[in-house]
Chain A
Amino acid sequence: MEARASASIGRVARAAACAVGILLSGVAADGAERFEVAAWVDHFDFAGVLQEDRYLFDSETAEGCARILDHVQEVGATTVLWRNCGGGTMRYQSRVDSHHNDGILDKRRVLGNRPVWDWVRYGDADPDLMRTALRLCKERGLRPGVHWPFEETHWQIWTIGRFNLENPQLWGRTADGRPWWGRCSLAHEEVIRHKLALVDELVERGMEVLFIDFFRTGGWSPAYEYVEPVVKAYREQYGTEPPVDHRDPRWKRHVSRYVTEFLRQVRGRLNASGRKIELAVGIPGIAPLATSDTLAFGADWRAWVEEGLIDTLVINTLHWDAKDPMGSTRALGREVMQAVNGRCRVLWPVRAYDYSGYGIPSYRKALPQMTDAQIAAQLTEMAWEEGAAGISLECVDYNNYAPETRKAMRALLEGQCRLAREKQ
């Protein structure tokens, strides 16, 4: 009886949310674009949320996905970037790599000791949770996107997927020649082909935005790219052996070219789908530009903007100054906007996460007179004023954007900031 009642409530909420979504979506009559609110959603983050000894979300079911979207829409989301994987383990029944119903036991990687077994139903063929989530987004007028962390890792529990385990000859290698099983190098065509096959699976499931997150690089680093093709190309280009120090600027730039080539291939594959599928990348620590070192994780984002590879640049973090949090945030965001110069869309961060020290909790610490809701609203408004295409919310969990914050943001996003201030 209780289950039926809650399902009924869920249906009503979904219908309401759907209506709101339709109202919120699309383009205004005068042609101005909606100010985008891209919410990163990891259904895993909603697992285990307890209230009065009751789980609020069964993230392993279609019903649970719908309830998660109900929650996400409270913040005013217009685009949902749904997490597709934990490292090399896909959260749907992939044909080309590990998933949660395949290889749960593998003697070659350390097993998770989580009490719920890494949410085993994520690998079910029916429901296919990835397909379900993207479909639900579309039905609600939300843009269905995928958050694909670039070589994301939760270490050996999930990171090392079937493809990686099967292909030691493609693994990365350290400067002293030791193979490292944590990553396959992007310098190998087989690796690119494999990743493109994963892109195909997402396209086939209805993805309209592919968001590649360069913060969650996990163990990927130029430190493990001393593989034969990369070293050979370096010798040919520079006439010398690669430096042992993987932080060497020339080495980082050299290695980043393989990441750029990977993105070229992804861009090509999305274009070949015949559908309009947006490619977005998320860059942490992007500004101040003078000190930012995004090549440390292979992200030569200026080259990507220059070449027109990406549709949207997602600012993951700005290293603002605690002496003038809002002023410096604005100045750094402007720096990025000027560097991009209208060549692609830019989303500014309104981050509840604070692991890097630049999220809402850190603003609150620097600005004790302000509440989280006020900070979030001010950051939203700032992005809008500066002509950003929208904002990026990493990640909308159950608790990290509190009810007052969600309310304040939504009021702005349905009011003053509903449409982007300038077309980019």
Chain B
Amino acid sequence: MRVKQVILGMAILLATHGTQALAAPDALTEGPGNDTEAAWSPDGRQVVFQSDRNGDLDLYVMDLASRQVRPLVTGPGHACFPAWSPDGQWIVYAFAHFTKTAVQGIEDGYNLFVVPAAGGEPRRLTRGPFRDYTPTFSRDGRSIYFSSTRGAEQSSVGLYRVPFEGGEPERVLHHDGPDVALVQPDLSPDGRLIAVGHIAGFRGNWSVRLLRTATPDAEFALTGPDAPLYSPRWSPDGRLIACTGYRVGDPGWGIYLVELRTGSVVRLDTGPGNSRSPAWSPDGKTLLFENNRTGSYKLYRMEVPRVSFPPATAEAIRTDPPVFQLALKESTGTEVKDASALGNHGRVLGTVGREEGALVFTGQGSITVPQPKGFDFGTGTFAVRVVLTVEKHTDALRIVAVGDYPTHHLGWQIYLGPDNRAWFNARDPGGLFVGAASDRPVPVGRKVTLVGIRHASGRVELHLDGRVQASAGAGAVMSYPVPTQVRIGSQYDGASPFAGRLHEMAVYRRPLTGREGGAPTLAEFLGEAK
């Protein structure tokens, strides 16, 4: 196994560095304790880092020429996650010192402070019983972006911004879902994009997301869920993002580079031990990181090698046509036409209204497609895609579509729950529910694209407007025979009617691409960003 890892490491070295010799990483710190979360000064002469060498986390500054280390913030309490201002005059960090028990009094949590980089009195930036952390300056130095639990009703962490001069923090983006977090933002050199680590729920992994600074609701998943990557840092030229990552087969954590243009990734060879938390030198030639090869984390630096990125792994595109596709224009009277080649036409039960480009469900009727062909998925993958609009939230269960099978009336369903979240569920072999819900209640008053996927592995996912949602299910490997019917707009028996507009609906025997799910491509996202 170890031999295999060495060979793998050599292969990566060759792949990533070509014939260029790679100098061994240079140890910057030594001695007891863990030195972590380093950040380079804008002039490239110093680094600030946190260390537990004296117990609590304190901040230190190292002069790179002399290797002299001076304390910056010490004493009781944890001072952590330091970042420099663009002019090099200030360092922002998170700090907390708990002195009481909860009964003795609730104290401020982790809050942000700024301190002169040369040393001096810290100034408090934020306040309150929250956890404010991983701050970073905006490129103009006027504000500070950070992660925080403030405003969270569930266990979640959002992205916030506070003026450098102080003031009320402003929410930038917060998905207040269970175990969802946006951590460690970093602004692109031109300030237009934010890269941030995203934790996608308990069953998810870390990934790197891109946000548009001006419209942060527009997100793009730069890396996928198969390999956890976090702690993103932009290269000074804006072409690369360095982050901490792991892929199956790696010996542990390592430093990865992500090519922005293609999204492809490469692991750098940093030698033995875990390597984490990369930071670029201002000239983009050197990376600083922490590594535990000696038993505790110490700071190292290495030249950024010439990297050959593997060709971008194009999203595996399968083009099998759908087994059902709502054909609104061709549908007349009580007949609902299927545009697929299988002729799975349906009929209206009760009353379903029509307007241009949509079926209008008002609770007075639904559509049944009896014994549709192609829906006998067995244990294979299938996906259900709907585009709908709801005008308001209610506390009612509203079934958008259900696959009614002889083995289970509720074989799969796509619906809105009483919590107004969208849900997709399939079944395990015993008929038990396995579902995934949207992170938040579905947006009202606009078109929303929902894609539910049951993978052959039993994983159940829900995508909303192209973004995979945090919750996911496992074990949904029920074998699906020919269904009794597919019911659209209500439960299989007409109960729990959907109220809203259904613009599109299609069912596939394959997973859908992000594009089919409503997500832009990376090129589109970056193009729009410009």
Interface residue ranges, A against B (CB under 8 Å): 47-48, 55, 57-58, 60-61, 64, 104-105, 107-113, 115-117, 119-121, 153, 155-157, 159, 166-169, 173-182, 219, 221, 223, 244-247
> Chain B 175-203 against A: per-residue CB contact (8 Å), 1 yes, 0 no?
00011110110000000000001010011
A169 partner, pick from B94, B107, B157, B252, beta carbons under 8 A: B252
Does B459 sit at the interface, judged by CB under 8 A?
yes
Supposing A180-B203, A244-B477 touch, asked if A113 and B103 sit within 8 A by C-beta, the answer is: no
Q: Is the CB of A174 within 8 A of B184?
A: no
Contacts of A156 in B (CB 8 A): 155, 179, 181, 199, 202
Q: A60-B103, A113-B155 are contacts. A105–B131 as well, Cβ < 8 Å?
A: yes
B202 touching A61, Cβ below 8 Å: no
List A contacts of B22 (CB < 8 A): none
Chain B residues whose C-beta falls within 8 Å of the C-beta of A246 in the assembled complex: 458, 474-475
Contact of A104 (CB < 8 Å), options: B96, B155, B203, B252: B96
A residues in contact with B98, CB < 8 Å: 117, 120-121
B202 and A182: CB pair below 8 A?
Answer: yes
Closest A residue to B202 using CB positions = A155
A169 touching B202, Cβ below 8 Å: no
CB closest residue in chain A, given B152: A113
For B199, give its contact among A109, A121, A159 (CB under 8 Å).
Answer: A109
User: Are B253 and A168 in contact (CB-based, < 8 A)?
Assistant: yes
> Is the C-beta of B228 less than 8 angstroms from some C-beta in chain A?
yes
Q: Identify B155's interface contact among A61, A112, A120, CB under 8 A.
A: A112
List, in ascending order, chain A residues with CB within 8 A of B180's CB. Answer: 110
A-B contact pairs, 7 of them (CB 8 A): A58-B104, A105-B78, A110-B155, A156-B181, A157-B155, A177-B248, A247-B475
In the complex, what residue of chain B is closest to A100 when comparing beta carbons?
A: B98
Complex contacts, A159 vs chain B, CB 8 Å: 202
- Among A110, A119, A181, the residue within 8 A (CB) of B102 is A119
Inter-chain contact A113/B458, CB cutoff 8 Å = no
Which one of A58, A64, A223 lies within 8 Å of B474 (CB-CB)? A223
> Is B428 interfacial (CB-CB < 8 Å)?
yes
Return chain B residues, CB-CB under 8 Å to A245: 429, 458, 475, 477
Residues of A within 8 A of B134 (CB): 107
Known: A110-B156, A121-B101, A156-B155. A244 touches B458 (CB 8 A): yes
Question: Contacts of B94 on A, CB cut-off 8 Å?
Answer: 105
B residues 135-157 with Cβ under 8 Å of A? Answer: 147, 149, 152, 154-157
Which of A60, A111, A181: most chain B CB closer than 10 A?
A111
With the chains together, A113 CA to B153 CA distance in Å? 8
A173→B103 CA distance, assembly (Å): 41
Q: A105-B133, A169-B251, A245-B429 are in contact. Are A179 and B475 (CB under 8 A)?
A: no
* B129 sits at the interface (CB 8 A): yes
Given contacts A48-B102, A116-B102, are A107 and B205 in contact (CB under 8 A)? no
Min CB–CB distance A112 → chain B (angstroms): 6
Nearest A residue to B133 by beta-carbon distance? Answer: A105
**Contact of A108 with B206 in the complex, beta carbons under 8 Å:** yes
CA gap between A169 and B183 in the complex, in Å: 23
Q: Which residues of B contact A153 (CB under 8 A)?
A: 202
Tell me whether B274 is interfacial, beta carbon within 8 Å: yes
Q: Are A176 and B459 in contact (CB under 8 A)?
A: yes
CB-based contact B179/A155 at 8 Å: yes
A116–B106 contact, CB under 8 A? yes
Chain A residues lying within 8 Å of B251, measured Cβ to Cβ, are 169
> Any chain A CB within 8 A of the CB of B513?
no
Chain A residues with CB under 8 Å of B228's CB are 168, 179, 181
Docked pose: A174 CA to B225 CA in angstroms: 12
Kindly list chain A residues whose C-beta atoms are within 8 Å of the C-beta of B109. 117
Residues of B within 8 A of A119 (CB): 101-102
Q: Is the beta-carbon distance between A247 and B429 smaller than 8 angstroms?
A: yes
Decide if A107 touches B184 in the complex (CB within 8 Å).
yes
A179/B102 in contact, CB under 8 A: no
Q: Which residues of B contact A104 (CB under 8 A)?
A: 78, 96, 110
With CB as the reference atom, state the residue of chain B lying closest to A101: B98
Are B102 and A168 neighbours in the complex by a CB distance under 8 Å? no
Q: What residue of chain B has the Cβ atom nearest to residue A178's Cβ?
A: B226
Task: Report how far A223 CA is from B428 CA in the complex, Å.
Answer: 12
Tell whether, in the assembled complex, residue B149 and residue A111 are in contact, meaning their CB atoms are under 8 Å apart: yes
B474 contacts which chain A residues (CB < 8 A)? Answer: 174, 221, 223, 246
Q: Is B457 an interface residue (CB 8 A)?
A: yes
Most buried by A among B203, B274, B379: B203
Q: Do A108 and B230 have beta carbons less than 8 Å apart? A: yes
- In the assembled complex, the CB of B97 is this many whole angstroms from the nearest CB of chain A, namely 10
- Report which of A58, A108, A113 forms a contact with B101, defined as CB distance below 8 A: A58
Q: Which residues of chain A come closer than 8 Å to B78, judged between CB atoms?
A: 104-105
Contacts of A168 in B (CB 8 A): 228, 246, 250, 252-253
Beyond A105-B131, A112-B149, A245-B429, 11 extra complex contacts between A and B, CB < 8 Å: A47-B102, A58-B103, A107-B133, A108-B199, A121-B98, A121-B101, A156-B181, A166-B253, A168-B228, A244-B477, A247-B430
Residue numbers in A under 8 Å from B248 (CB-CB): 173, 177, 179
Indicate whether B503 reaches chain A with its CB closer than 8 angstroms.
Answer: no
- Which of A61, A105, A157, A173 has the most C-beta atoms of chain B within 10 angstroms of its own C-beta? A105
- Say whether B221 faces chain A, with CB atoms less than 8 Å apart: no
**Could you tell me the distance between the alpha carbons of A244 and B106 in the complex, rounded to whole angstroms?**
49
Q: Does B301 contact A (CB under 8 A)?
A: no
Q: Which 3 A-B pairs have the closest CB atoms?
A: A116-B102, A176-B457, A60-B101
